[in-house]
Amino acid sequence: MYILGQPGGGRSEDNTYNFKIKYNFTDKQSMTYRYTHDKYKYFATDPVTFIHDADGKPMFSGSVLLPDGKYLDFTESDFTDYDGRRNIDRHALQYKDDENNINFNLGLTNVKDYGYATGSDLAGQGSGNDSKYPSKAYKADFQKVWEGSKNTVVAGFNVQKDTMEYVKANLSKWSDKDSITSIKSRMGGTNLNGALFVQDDLKLSDIYGLTMGLRLDHYQKKDGFFDDASTHIDQREEKYTELSPKLAFRYMPDEDTTYYVSYGHSFNAPSLYKLYRHDPAYGYVANPDLKPETSDTFEVGLKKNFGSKLYATLALYTAKTTDMINAETRSDGKKWYVNIDEAKRQGAELALDYQMDNKFSTFANINLQHAVDGAGDRIYSIPKQLLKAGVKYNYDKWTAYINGQYVSSRNTEKQIGGKLYAEDGFFTADAGVSYQFMKNGTISFAVNNIFDRDYWQWYKADGRSWNVGVDFTF
């Protein structure tokens, strides 16, 4: 691999609009509608070349002599980066009945445009290609709670239908995504998920409790296809049904202490993105044969109040996953998602919340984990250490915070950190402050990545950024 330069700094623009209306039938019954429109774009500016001519002028096209005596030709297309965009509408309708403990939700997420283009010249006037994957997700869920003197029962259902199409096209002007000259390929499909669930939280005595739950999942992937100039493939339709039990026992020797042990079985279907996104020219290969993953998790833990100021939880867990979905790099350098026959994950998590006084509070969460596949080799996509900590301040009309997080490296033994495609470990800190200057108005200021940490998460992560906002409610 020869590094000729870089596409420059990343820039983005995000415009989000929110709307909410709520109607109260009674004091305990209401209907709420929420709408969000999000339009986002990102692009690169000021590309950099490491190659110069005899006069020291930068070169973005030409030939360079390599150490082995051969010449490498390069053009401006080697320095162009993605010109990406996302256009999403979200609708959510909620009916809430606190008198009868009923909650019903309907939702639609319409990703009208989501993709990126790249091309042959830095000015964006030449030819290029575009990749986009619009999608839709329809959701419905219902939940009902029955409360008794010794037990609480929760039952309900949820249904979700997802559709996605992935389209690759040739462009006559790569800065204009609508200048399509021909379609190179299409692929996509549909996911349908449905579930019924019931759970009973039973109080056996003043110090013992038992939680029992059961969930029935049905998953179907269908309508999968692939089309290009010479090939048409209809992917096979597949159905899966899974019964997932849950059992937890707790012991409460006093009102400030809870010990618990739990077992749970879970079912996780692959997303359409993992099934059908296919763009080998940019390092991604689809895998429409992905199967759902199932897991069995055992956990023991402690929840403890140390007086009125300190609250702590400690959990130890082990999980065994069959057909775990994991991103892997193939021998040809392309990434795709595959099912690992068997994976095991073990870990410990400690969480602390401390209320110093009526103004200041702090928190810290530490998660240590180790994941291996059936052969005992480490699964690098799961970080070994995670840490989050912060301080919060609330007084009168002022609120402020400073948070930090650390994620350990996910680089394999053969990967080089600090470069393109690396998954570096990193520590970042964020801070913010807000002031309520009127009854319905708040002004805020926040800084992300305060120390301007330089690291890579496949691509180079964002540097330091500032945000100023004014919020009004009416």
8-state DSSP, 378: B
Helix or strand or coil: residue 49? strand
8-state DSSP, 470: E
CA distance 129 to 393: 49
The per-residue pLDDT for range 255-302, each reduced to its tens digit, is 999 999 999 999 999 988 888 877 776 677 888 889 999 999 999 999
* Stretch 62-67: mean pLDDT: 88
- Please, are residues 103 and 140 in contact by the beta-carbon 8 Å criterion? no
0.85 cut: is pTM over it? no
Q: Please tell me the predicted confidence (pLDDT) of residue 145.
A: 97
Largest CA distance in the chain: 87
Comparing 435 with 472, the larger pLDDT belongs to 435
**Percentage of the chain with pLDDT > 70?**
100
The per-residue pLDDT for range 392-402, each reduced to its tens digit, is 999 999 999 99
User: How many residues are listed for the chain in this entry?
Assistant: 474
Q: Please tell me the predicted confidence (pLDDT) of residue 282.
A: 66
- Lookup: tokens for 449: 């990545």
- Please, are residues 128 and 171 in contact by the beta-carbon 8 Å criterion? yes
- Please, are residues 290 and 335 in contact by the beta-carbon 8 Å criterion? no
CA distance 261 to 108: 38
CA distance 139 to 158: 7
CA distance 27 to 31: 12
Bridge partners, residue 269, by sequence = none
Comparing 108 with 410, the larger pLDDT belongs to 108
- Lookup: tokens for 467: 């945000």
8-state DSSP, 281: G
Question: Phi and psi dihedrals of 372, rounded to 5?
Answer: -135, 155
Query: Domain spanning 13-44+82-472: which CATH class is it, in words?
Result: mainly beta
- Residue 214 sits at the vertex; the CA angle it makes with 157 and 300, to the nearest 5 degrees, is 125
CA distance 251 to 261: 9
- Residue 277 sits at the vertex; the CA angle it makes with 286 and 76, to the nearest 5 degrees, is 105
Helix or strand or coil: residue 282? helix
CA distance 460 to 423: 10
Q: Which residue has the tokens 């392309």?
A: 334
Q: Please tell me the predicted confidence (pLDDT) of residue 399.
A: 96
Res. 423: pLDDT tops 90:
no
Q: Please tell me the predicted confidence (pLDDT) of residue 280.
A: 74
CA distance 423 to 378: 15
Res. 421: pLDDT tops 80:
no
Q: Please tell me the predicted confidence (pLDDT) of residue 327.
A: 82
For the chain, the average pLDDT equals 92
Could you tell me which residues come within 8 angstroms of residue 4 by beta carbon, excluding any fewer than 6 positions away?
Answer: 49, 50, 51, 64, 74, 78, 79
Neighbouring CB atoms inside 10 A of 146's CB total 12
Using pLDDT thresholds of 50, 70 and 90, give the confidence band for residue 82: confident
Q: Please tell me the predicted confidence (pLDDT) of residue 402.
A: 97
CA distance 263 to 244: 10
Q: Which residue has the tokens 């708040």?
A: 442
Nearest to 216, CA basis, from 240, 249, 191: 240
Helix then strand then coil, in percent of the chain rounded to 5, is 0, 70, 30
Could you tell me which residues come within 8 angstroms of residue 260 by beta carbon, excluding any fewer than 6 positions away?
Answer: 248, 249, 250, 251, 299, 300, 301, 302, 303
The per-residue pLDDT for range 168-193, each reduced to its tens digit, is 999 999 999 999 999 999 999 999 99
Q: Please tell me the predicted confidence (pLDDT) of residue 284.
A: 76
Helix or strand or coil: residue 276? helix
Domain regions of the chain by residue span: 13-44+82-472
- Please, are residues 34 and 91 in contact by the beta-carbon 8 Å criterion? yes
CA distances from 30 to 104, 192, 311, 467 (A): 11, 29, 34, 34
Nearest to 215, CA basis, from 252, 190, 242: 242
The dihedral sign for the CA sequence 433, 437, 438, 441 = negative
**Percentage of the chain with pLDDT > 90?**
70
